[in-house]
Amino acid sequence: MRQHLLEDIRSHALAKPDQFAVCDSEVSINYGALDRFSTSLAMHLQAVGCKTGSRVVVVANRRAIIVAAILGIFKAGCIHVPLDPRMPAARLQYILNDIAPAVVITEEDLRETVGAYLPPQASLLLKEDLERILRLSAATDYVPASDVSLPGWLLDVPAYCIYTSGSTGRPKGVLIDHRNIVDFFEGTEQVYDVRAESVCASFSPLHFDVFLMDMLFPLAQGARLHVHDDIVVPDLLFQTIATHDVTHFSAWGLMLGLIAQASQFSTTPLPHLQTVLTGTDIPNVDTVQRWLRVGTGVKVINAYGPTEVTCASTAYTIRDLEPGRQELYPIGSPLKHVHTFLVGSEGERITQRNVPGELYIGGTQVMRGYWNLAAETEAAVRYLDGIRCYRSGDICIYQEDGSLFYIGRKDNEVNIGGYRVHLNEVRRVINSVPNVHDSEVVMVDSKYEEKVLAAGILLDESGKMRALDVDQQIIRIRARLRDELPSYMVPRYLAIFDDFPKLSSGKADRKALTSILTVRMTKEAEEVITAHGH
Amino acid sequence: MDTEAVVTNIIENVIGVRGVSRDARFLDIGGNSLNLGAVLTQIYYKTGVAVPARMFFHKSDSTIAAITAKIDSQLKESQAALTISQ
């Protein structure tokens, strides 16, 4: 069995203290400094009042030192809670209140925003403070720092908490233990072949649970990790891969397509590249095929898994060049410590090929639960054959070769730019605006391969009677959405309806609504162009 | 059409939103890495100025007003250069 992640880091530090572990454009941290820095940070956290189980919120941009800080949080026995630095103030306030952190780690630029909502018991730690601790840790030759006051490398305590969109209309925190991580890493190493001699690059935001596979797994393996701390545009991402001779990196489906748009993509070979990890959304077949051709023996891993089951639960390895391929790639088979079941609408077990059912994902990667939401945890977890499972809400089939293939969602959840969005959360905000009776939110495709939201809105009787100015009402709704939700959750297009198209059951016909909204959205964009007289 | 109207129009059309104010920042109104390419191409096509992609992700320089100012200053510079070379 694998050991605790922190034990991995300690053994690399002892064996090769001077090998660089993680770097960005500002710093390069070797394994010795990484071990010492994380110990010093853990002691600092203790000194400011952190105990085992205390929450440490991290609201920061992707930087090597922040990646190193995660290990310090773990060493102190605290729960790492990464948040999107771009989230609107109201959401940040809600989450800080919900998680009640002991410490918030942030950067100078965000100090004011974060400071305004800092709970009274919490203290603020800036990136500059971390840099000071790092300088002291890296000053002398490596010897493991004394850490007798630290809680030790516990497996059955929560490691991190990731907030995800909730069906109740509010974000909810998913709690993952160190034991979940150990078992996830043991499964991961069988498919994602990062080894001590690998060079990895990380492009993912810190608040996605991909950080586990993308940043911490390479460090656990003793590899070298380049953290891309610049903006996410094709040429810069591609340059990172090419100039550092990167062997492994991960990028969600659309990002993989984006990097392939780099101007040098078809002219610059990537002879060092071995494995590309993708997932989160269904990867485009052409994009995958283009990546397979950038070097000999390159493979693409299509990984799948909800945050609740520790980052990834299943994986499918793609090696074959198939220029004419049309059909989408499957999500493959379960990782080592994962069990998957397909369950039909009557609760029956599905084992036949090509019969759709809900995917239940079981085993030791399943989360501890949602933060402070016992009822929701209970609703999400089921025992099948004595195995603790998470009900994913994803509908899948078994393909002829036995691989799992993703069909769609059971409920109102969609995936936008790698973010899970529960449409109820968007609806809750729209419906909270005065004079709104109800709304339906659907996902439509933009011209630029983005998935975007569009909303149809019904006004209540008083709103209709007062013949509210439609444009004004839409501006009000949009303003409320911007105040409360991150920009990827704000519908691009809002339209007021007298009534929604209905199914025979009386429910809103969401398919018909989607096509109406798509047509209206495209048509209005054209009208704007014509009005400007081009 | 003045530069600000051109920039507003391009961003509104590519992102698919309307009523964007001059203080609105690119990332706050639905701009992202995926639609940025189209915005840059169209700005270059309409104004002849290649705005650096980094600006669109900047905390304060990513507003319509700041991007417009950048394009205008570039245009002025290239006109000055043209005058000198003549």
Domains and CATH numbers, chain B: 3-85 (1.10.1200.10)
Nearest to A441 by CA among A491, A515, A512, A503: A491
Q: Could you write out the DSSP letters of every residue in B28-65?
A: GGT--HHHHHHHHHHHHHHHS----GGGGG-TTTTBHH
**Helix A64-75 crosses helix A5-15 at what angle (to 10 degrees)?**
120
Q: Give the gyration radius of chain A's Cα atoms.
A: 24
What residues of B are in contact with residue A258 (Cβ under 8 Å)? 33-34
Query: Mutate which of A261, A448, A472 to disrupt the B interface (most B C-beta within 10 Å)?
Result: A448
Rounded to an integer, the average pLDDT of B50-71 is 93
Q: How many residues does chain A have?
A: 534
Cβ contact B47:B75 at 8 Å: yes
For residue B45, the distance in angstroms to the closest alpha carbon of chain A comes to 13
Q: Which one of B12, B17, B51 makes the best mutation probe of the A interface by having the most chain A beta carbons within 10 Å?
A: B17
* Cross-chain CB nearest to A532 (options B9, B35, B59): B9
If you ran DSSP here, which 8-state letter would residue A270 be given?
-
Cβ contact (<8 Å) for A448 and B34?
A: yes
B37/A448 touch (CB, cutoff 8 Å), yes or no: yes
Task: Give which of A256, A444, A446, A474 to mutate to test B binding, by max B Cβ within 10 Å.
Answer: A446
**Long-range contacts at B47-50 (CB < 8 A, ≥ 24 apart):** B47/B3, B47/B6, B47/B71, B47/B75, B48/B75, B48/B78, B49/B74, B49/B75
Nearest Cα of chain A lies from the Cα of B57 at a distance, in angstroms, of: 7
Q: Of A291, A297, A274, give the one whose Cα is nearest residue A197.
A: A274
Q: Degrees (nearest 5) of the Cα angle A47, A51, A53?
A: 150
Q: Quick check: B28 and A487 CB within 8 A?
A: yes
**Which residues of chain B does A448 touch, with a Cβ-Cβ cutoff of 8 Å?**
14, 34-35, 37-38
Q: Is the dihedral of CA A347, A350, A356, A362 positive or negative?
A: positive
- Asked if residue A198 lies in contact with residue A224, where contact means CB atoms within 8 angstroms, the answer is yes
pLDDT at A4: 97
Residue A294 has a pLDDT of 92
Closest Cβ opposite residue B57 in set A231, A524, A529: A231
Question: Which residue, among B32, B35, B40, would best test binding to A if mutated, counting the most A CBs under 10 Å from its CB?
Answer: B32
Question: Could you tell me which of A305, A259, A298, A248 has the C-alpha nearest to residue A279?
Answer: A305
- Among A165, A176, A243, residue whose Cα is nearest residue A213: A176
Asked if residues A193 and A249 have their Cβ atoms less than 8 Å apart, the reply is no
Contacts of A450 in chain B (CB under 8 A): 32, 34-35
**Number of other residues whose CB lies within 10 A of the CB of residue A66:** 24
Residue-level pLDDT at A529: 54
Choosing among 3.40.50.300, 3.10.129.10, 3.40.50.12780, 3.30.1330.80, the CATH entry for A5-229 is 3.40.50.12780
Q: Do B17 and A492 touch (CB under 8 A)?
A: yes
In a 13 Å sphere around the CA of A387, the CA atoms on its Cβ side amount to: 17
A60-63: Cβ within 8 A, 24+ apart: A60/A85, A60/A105, A60/A106, A60/A107, A60/A110, A60/A127, A60/A206, A61/A85, A61/A107, A61/A206, A61/A229, A62/A24, A62/A202, A62/A204, A62/A205, A62/A206, A62/A227, A62/A228, A62/A229, A63/A24, A63/A26, A63/A127, A63/A227, A63/A229
**C-alpha–C-alpha distance, residues A431 and A480, integer Å:** 10
Only one residue has tokens 């009386």, namely A506
Question: How far is residue B48 CA from its own chain's centroid?
Answer: 11
3-state secondary structure of A112: helix
Q: What residue in A sits closest to B37 (Cα-Cα)?
A: A233
From chain A, the residues in CB contact with B17 under 8 A are: 492-493
Q: Among candidates A81, A78, A137, which has minimal Cα distance to A106?
A: A81
From B85's Cα to the closest Cα of chain A, the distance in A is: 31
Whole-angstrom distance, CA of residue A439 vs CA of residue A106: 36
Q: Test A492 with B30 for CB contact under 8 angstroms.
A: yes
A413-531: CATH architecture: 2-Layer Sandwich (3.30)
Residue A404's nearest CA partner among A335, A310, A324, A309 is: A335
Beta bridge partners of A370: A174
Domain limits, chain A? 5-229, 333-409, 413-531
> What secondary structure does DSSP assign to A461-486, as a single string?
HHHHHTT--HHHHHHHHHHHHHHHS-
Mutate to test the interface with B, among A473, A484, A492 (most CBs of B within 10 A): A492
- Neighbouring C-beta atoms of residue B1, cutoff 10 Å: 11
Q: What span, in angstroms and rounded, lies between the C-alpha atoms of B33 and A259?
A: 10
- The verdict on a CB contact (< 8 Å) between B16 and A525 is yes
| Contact: B9, A254; criterion CB under 8 Å | no
**Closest CB to B16 among A86, A417, A492:** A492
Count of A-B CB contacts under 8 Å: 64
Q: Cα–Cα distances in Å, from A115 out to A63, A84, A92? A: 21, 15, 11
Between the ranges A56-60, B42-46, B60-64, where is the mean pLDDT highest?
A: A56-60
- Asked if A261's CB is within 8 angstroms of B27's CB, the reply is no
**Which residues, 6 or more positions from A190, have their beta carbon under 8 angstroms from its beta carbon?**
A335, A336
Residue A507, token pair as written in the block: 């429910």
- Answer for the pair A317, A275: CB distance below 8 angstroms, yes or no: no
Beta carbons of B32 and A233 less than 8 Å apart: no
Q: Which residue of B has its CA nearest to A448?
A: B35
- Give chain A's contact residues with B (Cβ, < 8 Å): 86, 109, 230-234, 236, 254-255, 258, 261, 417, 446-450, 452, 475, 482, 487-488, 490, 492-493, 521, 524-525, 528-529, 532
Judging by DSSP bridges, how do beta strands A123-126 and A158-164 pair with one another?
unpaired
According to the model, what pLDDT value does residue A528 have?
55
A333-409 homologous superfamily? Luciferase; Domain 3 (2.30.38.10)
Q: Return per-residue pLDDT of chain A as tens, 534 residues.
A: 899 999 999 999 999 999 999 999 999 999 999 999 999 999 999 999 999 999 999 999 999 999 999 999 999 999 999 999 989 999 999 999 999 999 999 999 999 999 999 999 899 999 999 999 999 988 888 888 778 889 989 999 999 999 998 777 889 999 999 999 999 999 999 999 999 999 999 998 999 999 999 999 999 999 999 999 988 899 999 999 999 999 999 998 888 989 998 999 999 999 999 999 998 878 889 999 999 999 889 999 999 999 999 999 999 999 999 988 988 999 999 999 999 999 998 999 999 999 999 999 999 999 999 999 999 999 999 999 999 999 999 999 999 999 999 988 888 888 887 788 999 899 999 999 999 999 999 999 887 778 899 999 999 887 776 666 888 889 899 999 999 999 889 999 999 998 999 888 888 899 999 999 988 887 776 665 555 544
Chain B residue with the nearest C-alpha to that of A488: B30
Bridge partners for A475 per DSSP: none
Chain B residues with CB under 8 Å of a chain A CB are 1, 5, 9, 12-19, 27-30, 32-38, 53-54, 56-57, 59
- Range list of H helices, A89-209: 89-99, 111-116, 127-138, 178-188
pLDDT of residue A534: 42
Of residues B30, B33, B56, nearest to A490 (C-beta): B30
* A359: nearest Cα among A388, A383, A389: A389
